[in-house]
Every structure is written in structure tokens, then in C-alpha cells.
Amino acid sequence: MATSECGEPERRFGRTRSDSQHTEAWKRHIIRQLKYRDKAQKTLFQDLIRSYLSLLERCTQKAFITKGLLSVTRPLLHPSSEDSPSSLKRATGELAYQVVELQHEIKIKETCLEKQHARLRECQNDLGAVQLEHGRLQASVADVEEGNRLLKSKYDLLLERHQHTEQAYRKEELSGSELLEDMIRWKQQAAERMNSRNERRVRAREAGRNKHPEAASSKTFNFDEELQSASSPSSSSTSSSPSSPSFLRSESNERVERVQGRLFRSASATSPRFLGSIKGLFERKRRGSSICNLEEHISSPLGICLAARVPTKAVHLLDAHELGINAVRFSPRSNLLATGGTDRVIKLWDIAAGMLHYRGTLDGSNEGITSIEFDSTGTRILAASYDNSALFWRLDDFVPKFTLTGHSRKVTAARFKSHLKQVVTGSADRTVKIWDLQRAACIRTIEVLSYCSDAVCSEYYIISGHYDRKIRFWDSRAASCTQEVPLQGRVTSLDISPNHRELLSCSRDESLQLVDLRMSNARMAFRADGFKCGSDSTKAIFSPDGSYLVAGSADGAVYIWNVGTGKLETQLPDLHRSSVNAVAWSMSGEYVVSVDKSRKAILWSDI
């Protein structure tokens, strides 16, 4: 019974679901039939509807036109009774005229439209040509870039080879210098051994003579007698016999001369000139033929200044150049003065009776002169120039012997090295170059981080001053910076004391700095009220005895400091009309010369 009761509702529920599904089916069928009928009937009337819409649109346009015409012709259609026909004719003519004008305007517009279409076609053609040219240029750019990449790869390869070659060259140069030092050391040892042997021989002979003093005295007496008898003709026959006293004396003299000759030769073997000749022979063998004569390397004896005299007054004033003067230098013998300026020449002056006498002019520079340097013999002059070069003259020829070119900007300093066969130049292109005078070629380039304003050098070291307020010490054999000394202003000049123990620098912080080269941390500053560094190339120097410092100021005065006391010794009157660029102190210690931007040179003395 329970089973039947439960089963009955289930069957009832099943019938209800089937009935609902059947109802949904016939509804969907009816909807589909209605959509189909609507589509079929609408298709039949679609053309009619479009035609109706077109007619309706035309009617609307006509109504609009009619309305406009009515507004225009209403006064004409209802005129007064007298002139209605004439008014109608006039209105009709005006309308016709307007129609003609509109047609003319339409033609003009059509002509303009055709021209614009033609211009548009031309622009399209030009655009096509430009696009073609653009494509061609892009292809050429791609080719150039590819060529640049190939060139860059070749350049990198060549640069790498150059670096390897330069490293090998430096190694060979170092090995050559080591061989030279070994050779010199062996020669010194051989000379010492020869000296010791000669000394032993001399001592042995002196000891032998001391053993027989009576015989030695008798021989001396016999020598005197023989000299007296040699004056007579009868003595000529006996003077040549081996047993005669004269023969003994001549033999003893020859022995003494041979001993003295050996002593002289052994002593000269260790002299600097002998070692220099060995070094010169080695360098000539290594470098080839020289363009300089051997006489140029022989240093003439120079005077030594025992005490410089502080000048007190101006003894001679003159306009030395046509334009401003940048450099001045005395020769080592103090009898010749050289001045160089922006007028591209170096003028030579003789000093006699407290006056400057014109001697000659050295031509050859294409731009102004920035610095001048005499060699130690006083027969050659080296100058730096604004034309990116350094020039070399002999005093017996007013034309440069050769020009050192290789810098890319102006050369601010040119100095002889101590052995006079090399030259050091500093430039605004941030390089310092070492030149071989025998070949007139650059043998080493030192890259620096800043504008080089001045440089000084010794045998193996180069000291340079720069705009980045630093003094740099370079080992010229390895081209490496060994030390940097910072300052408070741009460095304008450098100078080394006569004993090579102190370095003087002038900088734009209106001071001079004295650096002890043995202890670079020990420094002394020199200042004075009124002293002002006038330019980036103002020169300050030592006196020839190293006791004083002298520099020119922007106000036209010359200031002299005492190195021992650190105080201002004197201030020479401001006779210059403009900033003093450079000063020079004669080796004799008697004269000081100052030059300025207004082409004036003044000779100072205490006489």
C-alpha cells in the first residue's frame, strides 16, 4: 500500500514534466512560423518602402525650395495693380542672373578642384620619389654603419697591436737602459781596478827608491853634471852611450812619463766626461746618425753667482716688441737677453753699460712665443709657440734649425733636459712630450688629465704644473706619475732652484709656493699685499744663488721675497703700464729684467 501511494505521485510528476515540455515545443514552433512570415512579407514590400522614402525626401526638398521661392516672390506675386507684370519680369531676370552666377561659381570651384587634384597627384608622385630616396638613403646608411663596424673592429685590432708593440718597446728601452747602466758600472769597476794596480806599482817603485837614498842622490848629482857637460861639444859623443848618465836620466824620465800617463788615463776613465762619451757612443750606435755636431755638446765654463744683488731702480726702459711680451730669459753667461712675444719673433739684446742694445731677431714661428730656454752652453735657444710646436735655433743662424710638431693645441713650455740631447714640451692638449734632438722626433708622450701650464725637468724626472691645481712628478723612463702635490689655485709657472733641491710654483691664488724636493710635504707660501697673479702664464723664478724669489704682479710692480726669512724683500716701482708676464735674473746676479703685456721691457739694477 505504501508502495502504491509512493508510486502514484511519481507518475503524476512525470506526466506534468512531459506536458510542460510539449507546451514549450509548440510555442517555439509558432514563433518560428511568425518570424518566417514576417520576413517573407517584408521582403515583398522592401522596394516599395525604399521608393516611398525616396519620394518623401524629394517632396521635403521641393517643399523647402518652394518655401524659399515663396518668400522671395511673395512681394512680386502680390504687387500693386500698376506694375505687377514688370515686377514679375524683373524678379524672373534676377533669378536667372543668380542661376548663371551660381553656375559660373560651380565651374570655378570645379576648376580649383581639378587643380587641387592635379597638385595632389604631384605631391603623391613627389612622396613616392622621396620614399624611394629615403629607402636608398637607409640602405646607404646601413652600408656605412656596416663599414664603420668593420673599421672599428680593424681599429680595435690595430690599437691592441699598438699597445702590445708599445709595451714591447718600453721593455726593450728599459732593458737598453739597464744594459747601459751595466756597461757604465763595468767600466767604472775596470777603471777602479786599473787605478788600484797603478797605485800599487807607484808605491812599489817609491819603496824601491827609498831603500837606496844615497844612490838616488848621487844619480841626481850626476844628472846635473851631465846637464852642464851637455852644453859643451865634447859631451855629444858620450851622451848616447847606454852607460852615460844622460841615457839613464832619459830612461828614468820616460818611465816617470809613462807612469804619469797611466795615472792620468786611469783617472780620466772614471770622470763624468769619459762616462758621458761612452754613453754617447752607445746611444749613437743605438739611435743612428746625429743631426748635431759634437761641438754642441761640449759645455763651456760658466760663471757662478755667489750672491745675487737685489735691484733697487730701473736703469733702462724700452718698447722691445710690437705687441705684448710673454717670455724673457738671460743666457748662462749673462751677456745676452732673449725676449719673445705675441708678434711671433724672438729678439736678442746685448747688455752693456746698463742698457739693452738690439742684436738680432729670430724668425720662424707662425704664432706668438710662450716660453724661451737657453741651453747650458748659451749657443742654442728653444722656444714654445702658440702654433702647436716648439722651435730650435742656433745663435749663428736666425732661421730655426728644426721645428718639433705633434701637439694638437698651443705649446706652453719647452725645456732642455740635463744632457741637452732631449727636450720636454708641455701643451694645452693635456700631454707632455719628450723629444730626441738627434732625430727631431717625439720618443714618448705622457697623457695628463689637465691643461699643462709649465714644466721643468732633470735627468730622469719631469715636473709639470696644471690647471687642475696640481703639480705632478713623472718618471720619464716609464711615463708614470710618481707623486701629485695639490695647490689652492691654477699653476701658472714652475722653476727649480740652482741646487735642484727646491721647486717654486706660482698659482692663481695670489701666492708662490716653495716645495722641498727632498721632503715634498715641507712647503712655504710667499704672499704680499698688492701682489696679484695677472694671467694664467705669469712666470716666477729663483735668483741665480737661490736666495730670492721674484715675480711680476697685475698692477705692474715687481715683487722680490727673501727665501731665508720668508718675507718680502722689496717691491720695485710699478713702472709697467699693464700686467707683468715674466721676469729674468742674470746669472751674474747683477740685473733683473721684467716684461709686460704692453710690449715694455725694463732693466733693473742696484747701480
Domain ranges of the chain: 313-605
Give the 3-state secondary structure of residue 527.
coil
Task: Quote the CA–CA distance of 169 and 286 in Å, as a whole number.
Answer: 13
Dihedral sign (CA 16, 19, 25, 26) = negative
The H or E element containing residue 265 is helix 245-269
The residues, any chain, with a CB within 8 Å of residue 200's CB and separated by 6 or more, are none
What does DSSP assign to residue 259?
H
Grid coordinates representing 563 are 727665501
pLDDT per position as a tens digit, 372-415: 999 988 899 999 999 999 999 998 888 898 899 999 999 999 99
Contact yes or no for 497/546 (Cβ under 8 A): yes
The percent of residues above 70 in pLDDT, for the chain, comes to: 76
Grid coordinates representing 317 are 726702459
Contact yes or no for 497/523 (Cβ under 8 A): no
Task: Quote the CA–CA distance of 223 and 559 in Å, as a whole number.
Answer: 70
pLDDT band at 70 (very low <50, low <70, confident <90, very high): low
pLDDT band at 261 (very low <50, low <70, confident <90, very high): very low
Cell 518668400 belongs to: 71
Amino acid, res. 229: S
pLDDT band at 37 (very low <50, low <70, confident <90, very high): confident
| pLDDT the model gives residue 152 | 92
pLDDT per position as a tens digit, 138-149: 999 999 999 999
Q: What is the mean pLDDT of the chain?
A: 79
Contact yes or no for 417/394 (Cβ under 8 A): no
Task: Quote the CA–CA distance of 269 and 49 in Å, as a whole number.
Answer: 133
The percent of residues above 90 in pLDDT, for the chain, comes to: 45
From the list 374, 316, 326, the residue with the least C-alpha distance to 595 is 326
| pLDDT the model gives residue 222 | 42
Cell 531676370 belongs to: 93
Cell 694664467 belongs to: 536
Q: Is the pLDDT of residue 238 over 60?
A: no
Grid coordinates representing 546 are 737661490
Q: Is the pLDDT of residue 243 over 70?
A: no
Amino acid, res. 422: Q
Q: Is the pLDDT of residue 448 over 50?
A: yes
Contact yes or no for 253/219 (Cβ under 8 A): no
Range with the poorest average pLDDT among 54-63, 146-155, 528-537:
54-63
Q: How many CB atoms lie within 10 A of CB 401?
A: 16
pTM for the whole structure: 0.53
From the list 532, 478, 441, the residue with the least C-alpha distance to 540 is 532
From the list 497, 500, 459, 456, the residue with the least C-alpha distance to 272 is 459
Q: Which CATH number fits domain 313-605: 1.10.260.40, 2.130.10.10, 2.60.120.590, 3.40.710.10?
A: 2.130.10.10
Angle at CA 515, nearest 5°, toward 557 and 527? 30
Q: Is the pLDDT of residue 212 over 60?
A: no
